[in-house]
Amino acid sequence: MGSLPPVLLCITLLFIHDTWGQVEFVSLPDTVSIKESSPIGTSVHSFNLINCTSNNPTVTITSVIPPATYFNTPTQTLSGSVFKLQITLSSTATLNAQVVNEYILQITAVCGNETITGQLFVNIIDDLPEPQCEPKFSSQGKTV
């Protein structure tokens, strides 16, 4: 077996650098559904950040449409070379599918001098029972 020609070797190395060297989100963009009755701290979505050479990337929710403060900044844990990220419901979350049934989160990661963005679509499931009106009185009651 002979060695690779220099041109083929250069092309191979460029391909590996281009595909392995780019910071990226795994599982974004994505669409998830949560119940409007979900308690504070409920996991909304878990995803990964790969190919980040920084020891401490900054991952934030840069916008929510429509505007809301219902989602916590992603928590991150390092597992090998993969940053595992999780978004949870914040203490201000008051989900109501009849008012807003979808939120679009723009998520940004800054890893060294690279910045990437991804989107998460959060559908709200209407699972709370409608208020029930009391039936009319069956008798007129006593006269005073």
**pLDDT per residue of the chain (144 residues) written in tens, 0 to 9:** 556 565 544 444 444 444 457 999 999 999 999 999 999 999 999 999 999 999 999 999 999 999 999 999 999 999 999 999 999 999 999 999 999 999 999 999 999 999 999 999 999 999 987 776 776 666 666 776
70/94 Cα distance (integer angstroms): 7
Residue 80 confidence (pLDDT): 92
Residue 60 confidence (pLDDT): 98
Residue 128 confidence (pLDDT): 82
pTM above 0.85, yes or no: no
Residue 141 confidence (pLDDT): 64
Q: Domains in the chain, start-ordered, CATH in brackets?
A: 22-125 (2.60.40.60)
